[in-house]
Amino acid sequence: MVFDQKGFSINFHEDFFKGTELAHQIKKYSFFSYSVNEALHLSPKEEKQIEAIVESIDSEYQNNQDAFSKDIIISQLTTLLKYANRFYERQFINRIKSYRMI
């Protein structure tokens, strides 16, 4: 059996966030310390949303850097994290609803 898998990794040094609002907000995202059984599962539509943001971050990173580049990348990362948080938290809401129906 062959599985078609794809993925990505976004790595930044903590200095990149220093002095930004994201440096303070990033601690509120609980999915950075989730258990194996709490992995983020995305619908095809959600995958496309996340992929579009990641492509936008990559495009901005690959462009010639200017005075706006860092702010734009941080804004996109913030958006990515907010969507990931929404999708992650939604799983638990849906799970509670499913258990109630049983």
The average confidence (pLDDT) of the chain is 84
What local confidence, expressed as pLDDT, does residue 30 receive?
72
Band of the pLDDT at 70, cuts 50, 70, 90?
very high
Token readout for 69 is: 């580049």
At residue 75, what are phi and psi to the nearest 5 degrees?
-60, -45
| pTM strictly above 0.85 | no
Q: Where are the domains of the chain?
A: 16-101
User: At residue 29, does pLDDT exceed 70?
Assistant: yes
Rounded Cα–Cα distance for residues 53 and 16 (Å): 18
Band of the pLDDT at 77, cuts 50, 70, 90?
very high
